[in-house]
Amino acid sequence: MRSFEIPPGVVAPDDYEPLARERLSPQAWAYYAGGVADETTIGWNREAFARLKLASRVLTAFESGGTGVTLFGQHFEHPILLAPAAHHALAVPEGELATVVGAGGAKAGMVVSTESDFTLEEIAQAARQSSRPSLWFQLYIQHDRGFTAELVKRAEAAGYGALVVTVDAPIHSLRNREQRAGYKPTKLSQHPNLRGLHTSHVAEAALGESLMFRGFLDVATRWADIAWLRSLTSLPILLKGILNPEDAETAIRHGVDGIIVSNHGGRVLDTVPASIEALPAVARRIAGRVPVLMDGGIRRGTDVLKALALGASAVLVGRPYLYGLAVAGPAGVAHVLHLLRCELEIAMVLTGCATLDEIGPQVIWQPEAPGETQ
């Protein structure tokens, strides 16, 4: 692995974004930074965090504390994981092999994408040779269920600790920024993890014909497939892409071990609510029966604190670490995670929380009700 350096003046996760734009091709930038349609939800993800105010506390006694969390029997030093994202090689040629080194350096868990630029086995091997970060595997259930079953077996054999099933993207949305930049999506069969997968079922719609209803959706994932997947493996299964409490309840009925509240970073359906807005209702419905995680719009340690206060056990970050990867390789990934963890710890102290278990709704400032006085 070649050496990388963190540029001077980078002191916050967002400092990497303009530097990444300078280094990435227009097509790669459109893929990483862009979303679906008008990208309204991308903006809402950030704005919703900004609207939440924190309630500070003073003179709290801290004799001990920490940011450790246990999820599905696995210990993490902090509750910030790398979200699954495809095509890390658009940032640096080493792709996910560099990312996993950065994750290990920051003692962070990493969710490896089905559509990674290196095989899941190569990434697991790179993890074993570095600081051994905890790896989970993000799974798109393929139209070929037999191929999917083999993919699950491969993840188990490679030592992945959980399956993260993305359920909110049964179709490829029209991402106008990518289209304008000329970005060409990689064919499924060309992804290293999906070599050998046939795609003859996908029909090409002519202008004026239906794009959705020409044989594609008849092989899309359904709830029955989640039950089938549960029967295949003993690994913990999380569903990623839940915004509706009813879907969260249905997931539990199908044997799911965890929920990730997510709007896919605003990349699937525009004008759905911010993930942090959807989190409280899902967390209330789940009521602690399984861990609830969230992603979408995390840019500061205070964002992590707010998500934990509203019911999340942990969060996942996406674009910030990709920008760090593009600018400074594994050092950039580790630096982004280090900054987020440091900011989280500072925010915990200033809101009177020594451990993650102490973070709750009380850290979110609420205006005094009319007529209420002390």
- Catalytic residues, which ones? 264
Residue 190 CA to residue 182 CA, distance in Å, equals 19
2 Ramachandran zone, left/alpha/beta (phi>0; psi -120 to 50): beta
SS3 category, 14: helix
Distance from chain centroid for Cα 46: 15
List of E strands, 249-303: 258-261, 292-295
Q: Are 219 and 201 in contact (CB under 8 A)?
A: yes
Residue 252 CA to residue 238 CA, distance in Å, equals 10
Q: Are 96 and 117 in contact (CB under 8 A)?
A: yes
- Tell me the sheet residues that pair with 294: 261, 315
SS3 category, 80: strand
Pick from 61, 80, 57, 79: nearest CA to 363: 57
Q: Are 304 and 315 in contact (CB under 8 A)?
A: yes
Contacts of 157 (CB under 8 A, 6+ apart): none
Pick from 67, 143, 63, 150: nearest CA to 109: 67
Residue 46 CA to residue 266 CA, distance in Å, equals 11
Helices marked H in 291-318 — which ranges? 301-309
